[in-house]
Amino acid sequence: MSSQEALRLAEERDLDLVKISPNAVPPVCKLMDYGKYRFEQTKREKEARKNQRVVEVKEIRMSPSIDVNDFNVKLRNAQKFLSEGNRCKITVRFRGREMAHTNIGQDLLVKFAEDCGEVAVMDKSPKLEGRHMSIFLSPKPSKDAKK
Give the residue-averaged pLDDT of 14-43: 86
Q: How far is CA 133 from the centre of its chain?
A: 24
What CATH number is given for 3-51 in this structure?
Answer: 3.10.20.80
Please state, as a whole number, how many other Cβ atoms lie within 10 Å of the Cβ of residue 64.
20
Please report the pLDDT score of residue 144 as a whole number. Answer: 52
Sequence-distant (6+) residues with CB within 8 A of 64 are 92, 94, 98, 101, 104, 105, 108
The ranges assigned to domains in the chain are 3-51, 57-146
For the four alpha carbons of 38, 42, 45 and 51, in that order, the dihedral sign comes to: negative
pLDDT tens track for 47-88: 888 877 777 888 999 999 889 999 999 999 998 988 888 889
Give the residue-averaged pLDDT of 5-20: 86
Architecture field, domain 57-146: 2-Layer Sandwich (3.30)
SS3 125: strand
Please report the pLDDT score of residue 142 as a whole number. Answer: 67
pLDDT tens track for 98-131: 888 889 999 999 999 888 888 888 888 888 888 9
